Amino acid sequence: GMSTGWYSLDEFYRVVPGELSVVTGIPNSGKSEWIDALICNLAMSHGWSFALCSMENKVREHARKLLEKYTGQPFFDSAYSANTMRMDRLSYERGMKWLDRHYTLLRCEDDKLPN
């Protein structure tokens, strides 16, 4: 299987193309954030691409979260960013190109079909 990008986890779990992995847990335990971090690692390390449909995140919000994981910088100045400088324009533009190459974000918003 492929490395998750976390060597301490690779001993117990590796991503195998064609196999189904199920992530379960109680609400608000970080399942979606962990999956997003995992697929960012796979896109960066192995060049994989993904189609995502999140019912809990609007497309723009999901894209922002993925950009933050890719750049390692927060999009906004806020309490969660601690002392990390927010994403500059160049990081944003590079991140958007990376996002476009590796992700298709889908969601039916406002009862409209995605197009």
CA dihedral sign, ordered 10, 12, 67, 69: negative
Q: What's residue 1's pLDDT?
A: 94
Looking at the predicted structure, is the pLDDT value of residue 7 above 80? yes
Q: DSSP code of 86?
A: P
- Averaged pLDDT for residues 51-55: 88
Which residues neighbour 70 within 8 Å (Cβ) at sequence distance 6 or greater? 40, 44, 95, 98, 99
Beta strands in 8-98 (DSSP E): 50-53
Looking at the predicted structure, is the pLDDT value of residue 113 above 60? no
**pTM, 2 dp:** 0.85
